[in-house]
Amino acid sequence: MKKEFGAKPYLFPMPVLMIATYGDGDKVDVMNMAWGGVCDDNMVALNISESHKTAENIKKRKAFTLSIADVDHIEAADFFGIASGNNMQDKFERSGLHAVKSDKIDAPVIEEFPVTLECKVAQLQHTDSGFRVVGEILNVLADEKVLDARGKIDPVKVNAFAYDPFSNGYYRIGEKVGQAWSSGKKLMP
């Protein structure tokens, strides 16, 4: 028998993504968000509240970076979800992290996060369910320390963590348990 929980955002795992933008005066702003992800081969969709400083920055600059948070920087990543750029002027500085300007877009790249997508705004959507930013991925940056011997990104080395909407926890990602488009082949006719 299954227990009913009603309408809840209970999908797991949910990514822990860091959206980085520039505000006025090229001030770095980073926001922790879980309500977003890939929506096409070269596109991402972010569902955020328009009241966030990040939303204002995205509207003005038409660009953002999207990084995968890693366990080594979980404290800063969580802080970016607790503190508001609207209320805390030194939010990024307090994190102790470092940023450089992207070569591709008008947005910062946070040096400590291992994988970063450089995105330009493709669409800003206002729907009944809120504000959505659709971004075109122009480039992916990966720290050499997360690459395997073939030069590909090794998900175990990324040391990412996921958000748990059931109890608001974070969980490390890492064990490979199957191969996409292969593990289920024995069930094919």
- Report CA torsion sign: 92, 147, 121, 109: positive
Provide the whole-model pTM: 0.94
Sorting pLDDT into bands at 50, 70 and 90, what band is 152?
very high
Helix extents (H) in the chain: 53-61, 74-82, 91-95, 155-158
Task: Choose among 93, 98, 133, 101: nearest CA to 112.
Answer: 98
Which CATH number does 14-187 carry? 2.30.110.10
Q: Are strands 161-164 and 130-142 parallel, antiparallel or unpaired?
A: unpaired
How many Cβ atoms from other residues are within 10 Å of residue 180's Cβ?
Answer: 6
Q: Residue 128: its pLDDT value, please?
A: 85
In contact, 130 and 49? CB cutoff 8 Å? yes
Q: Residue 129: its pLDDT value, please?
A: 83
Express each pLDDT in 124-145 by its tens digit: 999 888 899 999 999 999 999 9
Express each pLDDT in 99-130 by its tens digit: 999 999 999 999 999 999 999 999 999 988 88
Q: Tell me the CA distances in angstroms from 116 to 19, 94, 98, 176, one per residue in order.
A: 10, 21, 14, 22
Give me the mean pLDDT over the 66-85 stretch. 96
In contact, 172 and 159? CB cutoff 8 Å? yes
Average pLDDT of every residue of the chain: 95
Q: How far apart are CA 58 and CA 62, in angstroms?
A: 5
Q: Residue 175: its pLDDT value, please?
A: 87
Q: Residue 189: its pLDDT value, please?
A: 93
Burial class (CB in 10 A: 0-12, 13-18, 19+), 8: exposed
